[in-house]
């Protein structure tokens, strides 16, 4: 039983462990209707100042707690999330548009952060210990982290940042996307009294708040997930105070299918690599290169899986894919699809979408396009996939690499060991074989080129929330 949109209570800002309202409100749209379903408070710049002051005050105590004590707080946090999964899943469904089962799956996936970072160690690294002296490398918390999250996985993105940030000993201020602030605001409310006041704060707001957060002298690191242009602006704004930055930005991931692969074996996996979350995944498969003599076989195999997808509102039974999340992104996908048609592309599959309002775009597969077409050169971030062809593998690798992006890439083959040679030549932060993408708390994830700076996940992601301090002892 889902909650009617008009019965959802508006969550408030969390500042210094308490709920706060605001004189300004932010309307949040349900993408399956195109209509606002709730209004939440938009934080003022004065409230940002108050949050930063509280975070710095809390840092003095939180950073001094032993790692294991901080981890006990994180485990309690995880239990609170688990106990409220139905409500949180409902909020993610309403604000993001994905099916309710997938929304709850996002909440469950976020708990993997708790499992991993709630039990990880961050001991000093001994790089010398002999009769002449001892050298230790220690990892100290940075300070106040400003975490700016994205709208495609709003809850997971928040947990990806707050959990390692807090475990490392920092305090965290989360600013969720203005498109999807509701579940993160509710998380802040649920954690009041669970975490010490000021340790975690949640502020909703628009671009002005985001710019002020990044530029604020009382914030010491920015962790951002989102677009390349915004990432560049954040890096420039962080420069005057030399803030640390972790930027997980966009991608236009290529997948190369080798000659020995079987379309009937990998067709379904190729489809979901591209169309999971209605194609709204930063590291989704967005350019598929297949041998020219097998393009029709791959198009047919992927289309067979596409035909099983039911697009509709997330609270309707049997729905497996939702809308594009917002109107601006829908226009982007429509523009790129039209560019492909204008460039002579053949639509090999076009699914059905509900009639009426909402940000709907049909599941679409095209062939007959190549580099130079906007659908291939730009990141669509929606439910459309171009299938490209090649006759020479070296050429395919060069074409796959000929982009400013470098988030992920994949190789598909019946001989995984042979794929390593191809994988080593692809310019991406992650290269997968017979899968795409795989992002978990135990594996570092980040981009090269203009797809980002730094990594999230694993011990490397945890260390990104620390400063290195060397203790060098002469005996």
Q: Is 452 left (phi over 0), alpha (psi -120 to 50) or beta?
A: left
CATH architecture of 5-249+451-474: 3-Layer(aba) Sandwich (3.40)
Distance CA 324, CA 319 (A): 14
Tell me if 285 sits within 8 A of 253, measured CB to CB.
Answer: yes
Q: CB-based contacts of 324: which residues, under 8 Å, 6+ apart?
A: 31, 97, 278, 280, 330, 333, 359, 360, 361, 382, 383
Tens digit of pLDDT at every position of the chain (475 positions): 566 666 789 999 999 999 999 999 999 999 999 999 999 999 999 999 999 999 999 999 999 999 999 999 999 999 999 999 999 999 999 999 999 999 999 999 999 999 999 999 999 999 999 999 999 999 999 999 999 999 999 999 999 999 999 999 999 999 999 999 999 999 999 999 999 999 999 999 999 999 999 999 999 999 999 999 999 999 999 999 999 999 999 999 999 999 999 999 999 999 999 999 999 999 999 999 999 999 999 999 999 999 999 999 999 999 999 999 999 999 999 999 999 999 999 999 999 999 989 999 999 999 999 999 999 999 999 999 999 999 999 999 999 999 999 999 999 999 998 899 999 999 999 999 999 999 999 999 999 999 999 999 999 999 999 999 999 999 9
Q: What is the DSSP string of 20-65?
A: E--SEEEEEEETTTTEEEEEEEEPPHHHHHHHHHHHHHHHHHHTTS
Is residue 282 among the annotated active site residues? yes
Q: Which of 90, 95, 106, 282 is catalytic?
A: 282
Collapse the DSSP code of 186 into the 3-class scheme (helix H, G, I; strand E, B; otherwise coil) and give the result. helix
Q: Given 3.10.180.10, 3.40.309.10, 1.20.1250.20, 3.40.50.150, which CATH number is that of 253-440?
A: 3.40.309.10
Give, for 218, the enclosing helix (H) or strand (E): none
List the one residue out of 128, 116, 179 whose CA is nearest residue 151. 179
Helices (H), 424-470: 458-463
Please state the pTM of the whole predicted model: 0.96
Q: Which of 90, 106, 248, 305 is catalytic?
A: 248
What does the domain layout of the chain look like in residue ranges? 5-249+451-474, 253-440
Q: What count of other Cβ atoms lies within 10 Å of the Cβ of residue 404?
A: 11
């Amino acid at each position: 039983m889902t909650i009617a949109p008009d019965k959802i209570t508006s969550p408030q800002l969390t500042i210094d462990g308490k709920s706060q309202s605001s004189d300004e409100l932010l309307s949040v749209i349900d993408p399956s209707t195109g209509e606002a379903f709730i209004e939440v408070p938009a934080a003022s710049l004065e409230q940002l100042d108050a949050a930063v002051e509280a975070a710095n005050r809390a840092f003095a105590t939180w950073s001094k707690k032993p790692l294991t004590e901080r981890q006990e707080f994180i485990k309690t946090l995880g239990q609170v999330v688990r106990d409220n999964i139905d409500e949180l899943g409902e909020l993610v469904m309403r604000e993001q548009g994905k099916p309710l089962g997938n929304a709850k799956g996002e909440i469950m996936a976020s708990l993997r952060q708790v499992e991993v970072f709630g039990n990880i160690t961050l001991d000093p690294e001994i790089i010398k210990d002999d009769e002449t002296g001892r050298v230790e490398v220690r990892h100290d918390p940075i300070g106040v982290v400003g975490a700016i999250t994205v709208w495609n996985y709003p809850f997971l993105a928040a947990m990806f940042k707050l959990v390692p940030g807090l475990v490392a000993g920092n305090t965290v201020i989360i600013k969720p996307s203005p498109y999807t602030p509701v579940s993160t605001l509710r998380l802040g409310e649920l954690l009041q009294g669970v975490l010490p006041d000021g340790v975690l704060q949640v502020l909703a707001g628009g671009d002005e708040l985001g710019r002020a957060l990044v530029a604020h002298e009382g914030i010491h690191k920015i962790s951002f997930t989102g677009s390349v242009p915004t990432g560049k602006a954040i890096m420039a704004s962080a420069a005057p105070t030399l803030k640390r930055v972790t930027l997980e930005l966009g991608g236009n991931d290529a997948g190369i299918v080798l000659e020995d692969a079987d379309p009937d074996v990998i067709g379904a996996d190729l489809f979901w690599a591209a169309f999971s979350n209605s194609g709204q995944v930063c590291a989704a498969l967005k350019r598929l290169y297949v041998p020219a003599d097998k393009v029709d076989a791959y198009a047919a195999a992927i289309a067979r899986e596409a035909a099983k997808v039911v697009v509709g509102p997330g609270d309707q039974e049997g729905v497996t894919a939702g809308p594009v999340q917002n109107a601006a992104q829908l226009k982007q996908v429509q523009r790129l699809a039209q560019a492909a048609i204008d460039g002579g592309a053949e639509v090999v599959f076009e699914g059905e979408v509900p009639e009426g309002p909402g940000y709907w775009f049909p599941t679409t597969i095209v062939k007959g396009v190549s580099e130079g077409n906007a659908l291939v050169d730009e990141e669509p971030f929606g439910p459309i996939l171009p299938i490209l062809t090649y006759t020479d593998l070296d050429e395919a690798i060069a074409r796959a690499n000929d982009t400013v992006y470098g988030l992920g890439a994949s190789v598909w083959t019946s001989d995984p060991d042979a794929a390593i040679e191809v994988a080593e030549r692809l310019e991406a932060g992650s290269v997968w074989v017979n899968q795409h993408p795989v992002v978990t708390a135990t594996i570092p994830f980040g981009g090269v080129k203009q797809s980002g700076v730094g990594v999230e996940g694993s011990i490397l992601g945890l260390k990104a929330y620390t400063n290195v301090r060397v203790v060098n002892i002469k005996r």
